Amino acid sequence: MTKAFLSIESLGVAFGRAEVLREVNLKVEEGEFVSIIGHSGCGKSTLLNVVAGLVPATTGAVILDRQAVEEPGPDRAVVFQNHSLLPWLSVYENVRLAVDKVFGGKKSRAERREWTLHNLALVQMSHAADKRPGEISGGMKQRVGIARALAMEPKVLLLDEPFGALDALTRAKLQDSVMEIHAKLGNTVLMITHDVDEAVLLSDRIVMMTNGPAATVGEVLNVSLARPRQRLEVASDPAYLAARGAVLEFLYARQAAAA
């Protein structure tokens, strides 16, 4: 039996006496787009932070490409809801900083410049390369954050509610961009979201968490929608509606006691 590309095995996390996660098991195949959804306080972000190496597991393990995850590394790039761009650097320089850190000894200066520009083009931000974060919109900042993460060539792209602070129209445009990038690169993505429609539109599978404390995986739903996906077309697709209904039923019927 082959090992999964990313394997979360009997994972538990406690902060003092507060048990946040208990016996979380999840396997993600290379190239999959998996969303994690659940009520506030169910440990979604904690789980992502363990995969990122930012929070240690209390019990169990995270295995990525046959290697145990014990600290942060460039093989796992995180895009947070807050873009975390350095305000004194240009858009180009913010991405170049990550490129230099990861590829400083592997690519020439010219290759690093070309790679930086390539990733800005992927997120349609070439035109703003010389602007500073304060001169661009929130959606553009998130595009730059995604470009910076992709430029590290991570084995897994970790998205922690990356569109949560954006208006509905900007959010929809960025969702479409992420789908296009995923189709083009075939990268492995693990995303935290509160948005049921977002989870169904973007994901191959949706992991539904039980309520905290001591939250765990309650159910995993396969999203049987063909790719590429067009949001207006899938909105009336029976498979989309069935998946959306299943997630809503889990969250608001079986997990209705959430705070």
Closest CA to 103 of 93, 117, 113: 113
- Average pLDDT, stretch 35-56? 94
Whether residue 99 is predicted with pLDDT greater than 50 in this model: the reply is yes
pLDDT at 254: 67
- Average pLDDT, stretch 115-133? 96
Whether residue 105 is predicted with pLDDT greater than 80 in this model: the reply is yes
User: What is the domain partition of the chain in residue ranges?
Assistant: 33-57+71-75+156-259, 85-153
Triad 32, 72, 98: Cα angle to 5°: 85
Whether residue 1 is predicted with pLDDT greater than 50 in this model: the reply is no
DSSP 74: T
Contacts 24+ apart (CB under 8 A), 100-103: 101/74, 102/74, 102/151, 102/152, 102/153
Closest CA to 28 of 185, 153, 187, 147: 187
Express the helix, strand and coil content of the chain in percent, nearest 5 each. 40, 25, 35
pLDDT at 256: 63
Whether residue 259 is predicted with pLDDT greater than 70 in this model: the reply is no
Q: 84 pLDDT band (50/70/90 cuts)?
A: confident
Interhelix angle 109-122/138-151, rounded to 10 degrees, is: 130
Whether residue 255 is predicted with pLDDT greater than 70 in this model: the reply is no
Q: 83 pLDDT band (50/70/90 cuts)?
A: confident
CB 13 within 8 A of CB 46: yes
Could you give the percent of the chain with pLDDT greater than 70? Answer: 97
Closest CA to 245 of 223, 227, 218, 216: 223
Q: 81 pLDDT band (50/70/90 cuts)?
A: confident
CA distances in angstroms from 29 to 77, 139, 205, 227, listed in the order given: 17, 29, 11, 17
pLDDT at 253: 78
Buried b (16+ CB within 10 A) or exposed e, 176-215: bbbbebbeeeebbbbbbbebbbbbbbbbbbbbbbbbbebb
The pair of three-digit structure tokens given for residue 250, joined into one six-digit string: 């889990």
Q: 3 pLDDT band (50/70/90 cuts)?
A: confident
**pLDDT, tens digit, 9 for 90 and up, residues 9-43:** 999 999 999 999 999 999 999 999 999 999 988 99
Give strand pairing partners of 79.
159
Whether residue 186 is predicted with pLDDT greater than 80 in this model: the reply is yes
More confident residue, 197 or 82: 197
The pair of three-digit structure tokens given for residue 104, joined into one six-digit string: 């400083």
Q: 215 pLDDT band (50/70/90 cuts)?
A: very high
CB 62 within 8 A of CB 51: yes
Triad 20, 23, 27: Cα angle to 5°: 115
Closest CA to 93 of 112, 74, 108, 75: 112
Q: How far apart are the two ends of the chain, measured CA to CA in Å?
A: 41
Identify the architecture of domain 33-57+71-75+156-259 in CATH.
3-Layer(aba) Sandwich (3.40)
- Average pLDDT, stretch 156-166? 91
Could you give the percent of the chain with pLDDT greater than 90? Answer: 86
If phi over 0 gives left and psi between -120 and 50 gives alpha, with beta otherwise, what is residue 46?
alpha
State the average pLDDT for the chain.
93
CB 196 within 8 A of CB 247: yes
CB 2 within 8 A of CB 170: no
